[in-house]
Amino acid sequence: MLDFVIKRLIQVGVVVLLALTVVFFLIRLSGDPTALFLPPDAPREQIEEYREKLGFNRPIYVQYGDFMVNAVQGDFGQSLRSREDALPLVLDRLPATFQLAISALVLSLLISIPLGVLSAFRRNSIFDRIAVAFTVLGQAVPSFWLGLLLIYFFAAQLNMLPSGGAGSITHLLLPMVTLAAYSVARFTRFTRSTMLDVLRKDYIRTAKASGVPTIRLIGRYALKNSLIPIITLVALDLGTLLGGAVITEVVFAWPGIGRLLMQSLMNRDFPIVLAGVFIIALIYAVINFIADVLYAYVNPQIRVK
């Protein structure tokens, strides 16, 4: 088990370093950011002086080497715009992103598990067909389009909810529903599939033939034995929600990491972008690591892979 944990920890480090490496070189393709922080008529000498001050006049491989050395120590430099340390600025936005992602995850589970269970138990019924159509639609609709649609109806037309920002539960509702829509469809489909496999088992047929009440049959026998793969998917999907919150945060002006990243990309504020990617990649990798370790603990055969 210890060897398995060590291998997975090494993989976490490799994933985070690869994510930082890819993003480091990709954002350099957007161009030199120095022109954004100087007047349009700034002389060439002033631009070169500012580039030297920021370190952008050095070869790209030298910049990358210095960045990696500092990043391993938790130093991502200062924001090019605010001149504040990049990592604390990103960490300040983390609670808002977690609030949105976890709220969306809880909403997804509250809707999808009962829906998936009933759909599986009433297979090929009208309810099942509607549920399956809903899962296809939920996975096909882009989150930004759904978000704009919700804003149009509930904020602009009905004036029931705020169109963006944060501060109260009413500000959370629309972005939470938008972010949860895909997960609801995905969890419902997965729960239905898992339940159908369990309902075909011999012990379920025996319990049903023995006259076990339907509610007890579903809750105690079928659903209980379907939870392990569902829990694994939920753990992995939390990381996906954190990454998918970027678009939702931008649409609803939610003050999380995603919105900060988009603003920093537009401003070519490289330290903020890299610090944000580091946090998101680290969270995603750690969640996968915990899921792998728990799964290996439950199923020892996984450890030999």
Model confidence over 134-163: pLDDT tens digits?
888 888 888 888 889 999 889 888 888 888
Mean pLDDT of 177-192: 87
Whole-angstrom distance, CA of residue 101 vs CA of residue 14: 25
Q: What is the mean pLDDT of residues 27-44?
A: 73
Does the structure show a pLDDT above 80 at 102?
Answer: yes
Residues 202-216 have pLDDT tens digits of 766 776 677 767 677
Nearest alpha carbon to residue 117 among 181, 65, 187, 170: 187
Name all domains of the chain by residue range, CATH numbers in brackets. 91-267 (1.10.3720.10)
Measured distance CA(36)–CA(263) in Å, rounded: 13
Q: Are 253 and 165 in contact (CB under 8 A)?
A: yes
Residue 204: the pLDDT is 67
Residue 221 pLDDT more than 70? no
DSSP single-letter state for residue 246: H
The yes-or-no verdict on residue 185 having pLDDT over 70 is yes
Q: Left if phi > 0, otherwise alpha if psi is -120 to 50, otherwise beta: which for 142?
A: beta
Task: Record the pTM.
Answer: 0.78
Per-residue pLDDT band for 195 (boundaries 50, 70, 90) equals: confident
**Region 187-194: what's the mean pLDDT?**
85
What per-residue confidence (pLDDT) applies to 261? 86
pLDDT tops 80 at residue 31: no
Q: What is the pLDDT of residues 116-136, one digit of tens each?
A: 888 888 888 888 888 888 888
CA-CA distances (angstroms) from residue 235 to 139, 205, 247, 259? 19, 31, 21, 24
- What average pLDDT does range 266-290 have in this prediction? 85
Q: With bands split at pLDDT 50, 70 and 90, how would you rate the model's confidence at 220? A: low
CA 101 to chain centre: 7
Average pLDDT over residues 18-45: 78
